[in-house]
Structure 1
Amino acid sequence: MRIPHLLALATIGALLAAAAAHAPDAVAQSRGTAQPAAEEPIPGGRPRPGAILPYHRIIAFYGNPLSRRMGVMGEYPPDLMLAMLDAEVATWQAADPSTPVKPALHLIAVVARDNPGPDGKYRGRMADTLIERVARWAETRDALVFLDVQVGLSTLQEELPRLAPFLRRPNFHLGIDPEFSMKNGGIPGKRIGTYDAEDINYAVRFLSQLARDANVPPKILVVHRFTRRGVTNAQNIRLDPHVQIIMHMDGFGTPTLKRGTWNAYIRTEPVQFAGWKQFYKERNDNPRTTLAEIIALRPKVLYVQYQ
């Protein structure tokens, strides 16, 4: 989506005004600490104190500031991008006032590449300074930060320890992308990768240990999925009270096609909580699934990622 900056700002202003008219206290609700009763049974039992889910819905902007192609986070100047996030948060709060909204920035911190690089791993690690830049943006919105990992020919065991100092922070969480986990060989982007329950369980154990050591509320783990082979043996994923797992429907297409992906790979194997991807680019989502359609899905969508 290419929008001249002045037009984009005018559109954002209109969205915020409309949201405020329907929900004057939307921003206050999104930053509150109230925890309304969950509408559905909570897999894994009652969450630990300070847990974000299922008491909030997370609205996340995805991407990398170094690339205009990876997602909305890098497509626009920071101030404009954050204003767009404000508008989406307010719109969601107005659409479903019963579920307080938490904004988030979802940074691709380990990027899969189509060239092997010096170590042959087909991935690039983002500098700590870039992560800190996104962390500062998040601070201006009291937002969560997700660090997304595309391992290429590397592994979670190699990549996560380096990110531990960030993931110890209370507002930092993790995303892992099976599409770019080439554990069965191949070049990222040329074929679709996979994770097994064993890989996801490692990430859960890693986050759980960090949360306990740092004495912080439960961590969130987002697992992207849009194919059956993307996550194998999902029934063997083990829940942990210190980690909240979101199985994220990462597909694109018409609303009918995306609901088909949802029904096949998320509704049948939700594991714990559920997420949904929205694309701004018309070539990916045309038409876009409406908020009302997303809100009506079951299990309830508690994480919405905009790319």
Structure 2
Amino acid sequence: MNTMSTRYLRLCLVGLSLSLFFSACQSTTNGGYVTEASAQEPVDGSVQDSVATADTTAAEPLGIDAASYQAKLEVLANGDTTGRWPVADQPLPHQGAILPYKRIVAFYGNLYSARMGILGELPPKEMLAKLDKEVAAWNTADTATEAIPALHYIAVTAQGSAGRDGKYRARMPFSQIDSVLRIAEKRDALVFLDIQVGFSTLEAELPRLDTFLRMPHVHLGIDPEFSMKDDLPPGKRIGHFSAADINFATAHLAELVRVHSLPPKVLVVHRFTQGMVKNYDQVTLRPEVQVVIDMDGWGAPALKKNTYHTYVFREPIQFTGFKFFYKNDLIPTPHRMMTLEEVLKLTPQPIYIQYQ
């Protein structure tokens, strides 16, 4: 790993331990983590098996125009000459696909915490007004691709304590997810439900959210950083997902899309280190799911560009995203956030944008 990457990883690890687990996860309701006491899971059996009970006689979905799709992918490749971008032999998505026709601009966070992201930091009215300004800025910066709003809500949060079942994660109550849906409705915004599994698994956590994921405008995020495969709890080491984990998520989403005749789902996978995503070349792409690898490391522009190039550009899967940190991108001062114009010059060009 080169000096710049090493320095960036060190910054990320410091930021993780200092700002995420000892302050970023501070709850506005109990003065500590978003714990199981403040985020009780629903009573067993309250989540319907949406796949098993749905009508399975839906018509075969139509595809989209291959020429226009490929043309947009070429634009996103941003002049790449290495052959990595656009990703070859990817399936043509079904009709209703968001990417690459729209750029998603999302606010990230948790309603229980004012320090996990902008989504929970401001009252809904102020937060939506700020999101409006960011969406407008992206529409000004790139007039060829319409920017649309989204709320990216952490529905399963990693924990610094084991909890009742020793899984080091807390499931948010469905009433809180309902609140996010109501807030999003005010802007006709997309909703992403994000999963930080801790010592749990996607197999255990993802199906619980089917009630929401079968809604056409609700999509998914998964965070390898908090997927702990050994005996160290979240915050002690950066975790990972393998291709098998990601393939489980895409297969599950694809089944929901097929059974419920939904438009394609977007799956956001966070990444800022080499080890967070393993066996990237074994990830299976499906016409029902659009996979975004979101570069969510923080730091100065040079560090962020280097990380994007090293871990996102070099290991192509399908689409890419980029994350802004309103506070941590400024550490240490006098660092600054990257400009929209700088992000649009990245190869490939991110089509999903997140603010924390």
The answer, yes or no, to whether TM exceeds 0.5 is yes
1:63-102 matched pairs, under 5 angstroms: 63-102=109-148
1:1-307 matched pairs, under 5 angstroms: 37-40=71-74, 41=86, 43=88, 44-281=90-327, 282-283=330-331, 286-307=335-356
Amino-acid identity (%): 55
Q: Deviations over 1:242-273 (max 9, x none)?
A: 00000010111111100110111000112000
Equivalent residue of 1:246, what SS? strand
Q: Deviations over 1:78-135 (max 9, x none)?
A: 1000000000000110110100111100000000001000010000000000001000
Measured after TM superposition, the shift of residue 65 of structure 1 is: 1.0
Q: Deviations over 1:42-80 (max 9, x none)?
A: 651432110000001000000001101100001111100
Are the equivalent residues in 1 in contact too, given 2:93–2:286 (CA < 8 A)?
A: no
Equivalent residue of 1:119, what SS? coil
Aligned partner letter, 1:291: L
RMSD: 1.4
Distance 1:297 1:52, change over 3 A: same
CA distance in 2, matches of 1:96, 1:262: 20
CA distance in 1, matches of 2:254, 2:304: 32
Measured after TM superposition, the shift of residue 284 of structure 1 is: 7.3
Q: Pick the structure with greater CA Rg.
A: 2
Aligned partner letter, 2:338: T
Equivalent residue of 1:163, what SS? helix
Distance 1:213 1:39, change over 3 A: closer
**TM-score, with structure 1 as normaliser:** 0.86
Aligned partner letter, 1:305: Q
Q: Deviations over 1:171-230 (max 9, x none)?
A: 000000000000223110111111111100000101000111110110000000001110
CA distance in 2, matches of 1:270, 1:68: 34
Measured after TM superposition, the shift of residue 39 of structure 1 is: 4.7
Unmatched 5+ stretches in structure 2:
1-67, 75-85
Are the equivalent residues in 2 in contact too, given 1:278–1:305 (CA < 8 A)?
A: yes
Runs of 4+ with >4 A deviation: none
Equivalent residue of 1:274, what SS? strand
CA distance in 2, matches of 1:258, 1:166: 33
Q: Deviations over 1:228-249 (max 9, x none)?
A: 1100110100100000000010
Equivalent residue of 1:201, what SS? helix
Equivalent residue of 2:290, what SS? strand
Are the equivalent residues in 2 in contact too, given 1:279–1:306 (CA < 8 A)?
A: yes
Unmatched 5+ stretches in structure 1:
1-34
Deviates more, 1:43-52 or 1:256-265: 43-52
Aligned partner letter, 1:94: T
**TM-score, with structure 2 as normaliser:** 0.75
Distance 1:284 1:180, change over 3 A: farther
Are the equivalent residues in 1 in contact too, given 2:269–2:292 (CA < 8 A)?
A: yes
